[in-house]
Structure 1
Amino acid sequence: MRSDAAMESSSARDLIKGILEAKPGGSTVLQEYDETGTLSDSRRRQMVNVLTAHMVESEGRVPQRVTKENYALGIVTLFPSSGDPFSSKGYEHFYDGQSGSGFLAWRLKTIQRKTKFIFKEPKTQTAVGGDPEQQRDLPQIDDQLDERHCEEAISLMNHTNDKRVIFQKMKETFEYRQCLIHNPDRSHTVLSVFPRLLDTKGLVHSSKCSSK
């Protein structure tokens, strides 16, 4: 007989597949995975949007924790390459019941706010060591992510060892990181929020190397 865990995974997989097959946009997610064996960031976000919308339709704006965990399990069972082999359950980056974080949780929070969050990035900061009234411009970087997508990118970086992905997401979260660095109340959290700065060779010194 199949184990309870295997049956639970199979049931969750079938649930996710059924939702994606029935909802607009879901079939393109399935098609991309069938063709490439993976999901791009845009398809993963599309999938999360479809699934959280279905959750809200079924259970309201605050779905049960067990529902979110079941969806997360179904996702990594249906799309094995999207799982995290280094986490205890393999799906915490989609939903972590302990911290209430993950792609599904963040999307639900956005839905619950009912308004699109606009990332308020200050364009100027107090110069280090200068007059408190003195202001300096932050460098403008293209393709910066808003706060919700920064949270997703940070989670992705913390669950992958792909240096290409880490460097790309570090670039896309530059302004978010600058906000932390220049915020006296949060500057001490930079390395805990971005731990890959400590274990990914080239991140800290890349700018020095490129100038040589």
Structure 2
Amino acid sequence: YFMIRPFTYDHIFKEFETNEQILGLNLRMGKNIVSNYYLGNGELDIFFHRESEVDRYLIKNNNIEPIEFIGNMYRWRDKNKNTWGYSMSVVGQVYRTKDLVKLVPKLNYVINPNTFEDMLMKNALNKEFLICPDKHVIIEICLNLVNTTHVDNPHGLISTELLNDRWLEGYRIDLECFYKLVGNSKRFINVELELKK
């Protein structure tokens, strides 16, 4: 994950603090997101943004589903679990300590961050909304698989050993490509970059 914009204590954070119906502050999403190139099951998840309206439309399996914002809040429960409905990520989302203190002791089978996240998702608190900034703050660059419990990661099937071998062979992530991407980062949530020698 890379932070591409500053994150400050602003009106969005204040609204999250004061509205108990908001489960979390989602920094991975923003009202500027227009597409997520890949869901991991071979299908595209495309968000359209119409400048003159607050509405967004998610096109999935030829169904149009409105994504309605109330300010910067949105209802997450009926959305795709890989994007707008991903309610409790261990990276890129902010929660209230008092909520986590109640929830975490109830979780079973937590052996790594992935299983922790799975258990958080399965036991998400009964709060109606997530809130996001106007522009998302972080992007995810999925490159390697770092665990043995979630081998279905569609993005990171590269072992740490192979990455180390490539590093020793002189390969590096192409930062120029990354900076171009950040300039156009309104388009993507997840990003894949080339390794270049």
Higher relative contact order (CA closer than 8 Å, sequence separation 6+) = 2
- TM-score (normalised: structure 1): 0.28
Q: Which protein is richer in helix relative to its size?
A: 1
- Higher Rg of the two aligned structures: 1
- TM-score (normalised: structure 2): 0.30
